[in-house]
Amino acid sequence: MSILINKNTRLLVHGITGNEGLFHSTQMLAYGTNVVAGMTPGKGGEWVINGKVPVFDSAKVAVEATGANTSCIFVPSRFAADSIYEAADAGISLIVCITEGIPVQDMMRVRNYLDQKMVRLVGPNCPGLLTPGESKVGIIPGNIAIPGNVGVVSRSGTLTYEVLYALKLLNHGVSTCVGIGGDPINGTNFIDALTMFEADPQTEKVVLIGEIGGTDEEKAAEYIAGHMTKPVVSFIAGQTAPPGKRMGHAGAIVEGGSGLAADKVKALRVAGVRVATHPEEIPSLLF
Amino acid sequence: MKLHEYQSKQIFSRYNIPIPKGRVATTAEEARHIASELGGRVVIKSQVLVGGRGKAGGIRLAKDPHEAEDVATQILAMEIKGLPVRKVLVDEAANISKEIYLGITNDRGARKPVMMASSAGGVEIEEVARTTPEKIIKSHIDPLLGLKDYQARNIAIGIDLPKQHWKIFNQIANGLWRAYQDCDATLAEINPLVVTEDNQLIALDGKMLIDDNSLFRHPDLAELRDLDVEAPAEVEARKYGLTYIKLDGNIGCMVNGAGLAMTTMDIIKLFGGEPANFLDIGGGAGSDKVAAAIRIILTDPNVKAVLFNIFGGITRGDEVARGILTALDEVKPHIPLVVRLVGTNAEEGRKLLSDANMITAETLADAAKKAVAAAKSGKAGR
C-alpha cells in the first residue's frame, strides 16, 4: 500500500512536448510509471519518447483513448490554471501540478472550483509524488529513495530530496513522498496528507517538512496531537529568514508577526513531534 | 509589488471610488501650482513605499499655495526610513467627521479573499486586530462569485455606518473588489475611508500590493515598480529569473529551490557561520542563469566564501556545473568555493567540475562546515 499513486496509476502529462515535460516524462517512464498519454494543443497525433507515448490535443480525448486517471502538469504558469480546469473537467481524479508562479487569484478560483468537483490537486509549485518502487509523478529523482514505511510530506522540493536521500543512505525506505508545494494556496495540505498516512497500513512513521509563512504547520500540529497515532518527525526551514521578505516560494514569508519558524517548531513540539535542527538529523530522530 | 498611494488612488478612482482632488508633483513649484489650482487648504503627502510617513513628518497640511511650496520643499528633501522622497501628492484637505478602514486581502487559511472593515480607521489594521479585534468586521468573498451586495451592506451595518451612506459604501466596496480582482492584487486597502463633515465618503489614502506572479498579464502595472525599495542586486537578479535577498553575513550561497536555500542559510548559522544571502536559482536553471547568480553573489564585498548546494530534480547537475565553469572563467574569484552536487545528472556535473579545484562536500552538514571553516581561514582550495 501507499497513498495517492501506485502501480495502477495511469498518467497523462500536460505539456509533454515542452523541454521539462519531455525530460521528466522520460524519467517517469524509465522509473516504471505508466505514462499512458501526453497532451499539447496542436501536437495531437504525434508520438514521443521513442514512439512510446501518444500525444493528444485535449485532455478529454486523451482520457477517453487511454483511461488516464492522473494528470501531471508542466505547462507554463500563464496556462497552468486552464490545464487544471481541463484535467478536472476531463474526469481526472488526481492532478499534480509542478508549475511554479501561478497567480494566487487563479489558484483561489481553481481551488474553490475543485472543491465542488471532489478532485484532488497536489501542488502547484511542487515536486510531485513518489511511491518508491512503484510510480513517480513529477520531478523527484527516483534513485534517491527506496520502498519502506516512512511517509514524507513537504512544502519544499529540493529540501525534500535531501531528506529522502538522508533516509536512503541509512537504508530507510519510504511509503510515499508527497510534495505539497510552496504556494500560499495549494490543493493538498499537511492535514490531508497526514490523514492519508494515518490510514495507510504501510506507513508507520511520518516526516513533515515545513517552512516559514502561513499557519499550516501550526494547524498540522493541532491535528497530530488530536488524531495521529503514528510518530511524526519534522524540520522547519527558514529560522534565519528576515521578516517581510518572500523567500523564493510565494508562500514563504513572515508577515505581520505570523509565519515564524520558531512558532511552528514550538507548536509541533507541544504536539509531541520531534523537530530536527537540520535535515540530515531526521533519520536519527525516526529510528 | 507595492504601488504608491497616488497610483493606488488613481486605480480606485477608475472603479468609481471617490478620491480627493489632487495631483502628484516632483518639484516644490509644481506643488505650489497644484495647490493654487485646487484653492483652499491642501495636504502634502510624501510618496514613499514605507509605513509611518505621517509620524516621520512626511504628511503635512498647507493653508495656501505659498505654504504648499515651502512644505513641499522640505518634504522633497527628506529621506523616510532610508528611502528618498522623489514625489509628493498634493490633495485638497478634507474636513473629516469619521474615519473607516476598508480592505481586501487573501486569506491563506480560508483560500478566499476576505473583505475587512473597521470603524477604527486611520490606524493600521494589524494594530486594531491586536487591541480591539471586535471592531473588525470580516466577510469572505467567493472567488468564483465575487462580492455580493448583501455582503457589502452587512459590512456597512457591522461598522455602524448610518443608513444614508449604505448606497455609496456599496459602490466603494464593489469598486474595491473589482480593482483587487482586475489588478491581481494581494491587498487593496482604503485607510482611512472618511465621512466628511458634509457627508461625503472619500478614500483619503490607498494602498495596493500586486501579485508579482501576475505581472505577465499586467504590463501597465509592471511599469509602476519603484526600484528605490529594492537593492540593486535584487533587481539585477530578477532580470535573470533568480530570487536573491541580501543578508548581513559573509558566506555567499547559491542553491536550487527555496526550501533548500533557506535550509542552507539555517545550517550555516547552526555551524557557527553567517549567510551573506538567500539565492534560489529556481528549477531548471541553465548555465547562463548560474553564471549570473555567481556574479550577483560576488558583488557583495562581505562575501568571504561561497557555498554551492545543488540537489538536482528539475535542475540538472551538469547544466549547473557548466554555469559554474563559465562564471569562474569570467569573474575569477579569489575566495574559497565549496560545492555539493547531488541528484539528477550530478555525476556528470561532478566530472565537469573535477578540474576546477573547488572544495567538494558529500553531505549538507559537511558542506556547511567546510564553508564556515573556509570563510574563517580565507584560503581558496586551489
Cβ-defined contact of A101 to B213 (cutoff 8 Å): yes
Within 10 Å of residue A260's Cβ, how many Cβ atoms?
Answer: 17
pLDDT one-digit tens code per residue, A163-219? 999 999 999 999 999 999 999 999 999 999 999 999 999 999 999 999 999 999 999
My answer on whether B35 and B156 are in the same domain is no
pLDDT one-digit tens code per residue, B252-272? 999 998 999 999 999 999 999
H-helix segments, B2-114: 5-14, 28-38, 65-76
Cβ-defined contact of B263 to A113 (cutoff 8 Å): no
- Domain containing residue A116: 10-122
Q: Phi/psi at B220 (nearest 5 deg)?
A: -65, -40
Among B92, B108, B136, identify where a domain stops: B92
B363 contacts on A by Cβ (under 8 Å)? 166, 280
Query: 187-206 in B: which are within 8 Å (CB) of A?
Result: none
My answer on whether A76 and A146 are in the same domain is no
B325 in Cβ contact with B353 (< 8 Å): yes
Question: Which of B182, B218, B266 has the highest number of chain A CBs within 10 A, making it the mutation to test binding with A?
Answer: B266
CA angle B313, B294, A22 (to 5 degrees): 25
Work out the pLDDT band at B378, boundaries 50, 70, 90: low
B108 contacts on A by Cβ (under 8 Å)? 184-185, 214-215, 251
| Residue B15 forms part of a structural domain | no
Establish if B283 touches chain A: CB-CB under 8 angstroms. yes
- Provide the CATH number for the domain around residue A165: 3.40.50.261
Q: What pLDDT is attached to residue B2?
A: 94
A79 contacts on B by Cβ (under 8 Å)? none
Q: Could you check whether the bond before residue B301 is cis, i.e. omega within 30 degrees of 0?
A: no
B275 contacts on A by Cβ (under 8 Å)? 240
- Provide the CATH number for the domain around residue B337: 3.40.50.261
Question: Exposure string (b/e) for B106-115, b if CB count within 10 Å is 16 or more?
Answer: bbbeebbbeb
Measured CA to CA, the distance from residue B356 to residue B333 in angstroms comes to 12
Among B222, B242, B268, identify where a domain stops: B222
Kindly list the distances between the CA atom of residue B342 and the CA atoms of A282, B225, B256, in Å, as whole numbers in the listed order: 18, 38, 11
| Residue B270 forms part of a structural domain | yes
Within 10 Å of residue B239's Cβ, how many Cβ atoms?
Answer: 9
My answer on whether B110 and B60 are in the same domain is no
Containing B207, the helix (H) or strand (E) segment is: strand B206-210
Cβ-defined contact of A280 to B364 (cutoff 8 Å): yes
My answer on whether B118 and B170 are in the same domain is yes
Global ipTM: 0.91
Per residue of chain A (287 residues), what is the pLDDT tens digit? 789 998 999 999 999 999 889 999 999 999 999 999 999 999 999 999 999 999 999 999 999 999 999 999 999 999 999 999 999 999 999 999 999 999 999 999 999 999 999 899 999 999 999 999 999 999 998 989 999 999 999 999 889 999 999 999 999 999 999 999 999 999 999 999 999 999 999 999 999 999 999 999 999 999 999 999 999 999 999 999 999 888 988 889 888 778 999 999 999 999 999 999 999 999 999 98
- Domain containing residue B372: 230-377
Q: What is the overall mean pLDDT for chain B?
A: 92
A74 contacts on B by Cβ (under 8 Å)? none
My answer on whether A149 and A262 are in the same domain is yes
My answer on whether B171 and B261 are in the same domain is no
A26 in Cβ contact with A224 (< 8 Å): no
Work out the pLDDT band at B314, boundaries 50, 70, 90: low
Among B190, B222, B254, identify where a domain stops: B222
- Provide the CATH number for the domain around residue A72: 3.40.50.720
Within 10 Å of residue A17's Cβ, how many Cβ atoms?
Answer: 17
Does position B127 have pLDDT exceeding 90, yes or no? Answer: no
| Residue B382 forms part of a structural domain | no
Establish if B273 touches chain A: CB-CB under 8 angstroms. no
Among A66, A94, A122, identify where a domain stops: A122
Does position B382 have pLDDT exceeding 70, yes or no? Answer: no
Counted across chains A and B, CB pairs separated by less than 8 A come out at: 179
Measured CA to CA, the distance from residue B248 to residue B86 in angstroms comes to 28
Would you give the distance in Å from CA B88 to the centre of its chain? 20
A159 contacts on B by Cβ (under 8 Å)? 257, 259-260, 262-263
Q: Phi/psi at B198 (nearest 5 deg)?
A: -95, 25
B99 in Cβ contact with B121 (< 8 Å): yes
Measured CA to CA, the distance from residue B354 to residue B351 in angstroms comes to 5
Work out the pLDDT band at B379, boundaries 50, 70, 90: low
B107 in Cβ contact with B55 (< 8 Å): no
Establish if B314 touches chain A: CB-CB under 8 angstroms. yes
| Residue A129 forms part of a structural domain | no
Cβ-defined contact of B260 to A158 (cutoff 8 Å): yes
Instruction: Report the catalytic residues of B.
Output: 101, 189
Question: Which of A240, A265, A277, A284 has the highest number of chain B CBs within 10 A, making it the mutation to test binding with B?
Answer: A240
My answer on whether A155 and A278 are in the same domain is yes
Instruction: Report the catalytic residues of A.
Output: 249
Q: Total domain count for chain A?
A: 2
Work out the pLDDT band at B381, boundaries 50, 70, 90: very low
My answer on whether B43 and B105 are in the same domain is no
Has this prediction a pTM greater than 0.90? yes
User: What are the residues whose beta carbons fall under 8 Å from the beta carbon of B301, sequence distance 6 or more?
Assistant: none
My answer on whether A95 and A58 are in the same domain is yes
Q: Roughly what angle, to the nearest 10 degrees, separates helices A158-169 and B258-270? A: 60
Q: Total domain count for chain B?
A: 3
For the four alpha carbons of A137, A140, A145 and A151, in that order, the dihedral sign comes to negative
For residues A178 and B353, which has the higher predicted lDDT (pLDDT)? Answer: A178
Establish if B241 touches chain A: CB-CB under 8 angstroms. no
| Residue B6 forms part of a structural domain | no
Does position B284 have pLDDT exceeding 70, yes or no? Answer: no
Which of A105, A184, A209 shows the shortest C-beta gap to B184? A105
Query: 15-44 in B: which are within 8 Å (CB) of A?
Result: none
My answer on whether B36 and B125 are in the same domain is no
Mean pLDDT of all residues in B292-309: 93
Mean pLDDT of all residues in B80-89: 93
| Residue B10 forms part of a structural domain | no
Kindly list the distances between the CA atom of residue A208 and the CA atoms of A5, A7, A223, B262, B310, in Å, as whole numbers in the listed order: 19, 24, 13, 16, 22
Cβ-defined contact of B284 to A20 (cutoff 8 Å): yes
A217 in Cβ contact with A267 (< 8 Å): yes
Cβ-defined contact of A158 to B112 (cutoff 8 Å): no
- Provide the CATH number for the domain around residue B131: 3.30.470.20
Q: What pLDDT is attached to residue B134?
A: 84
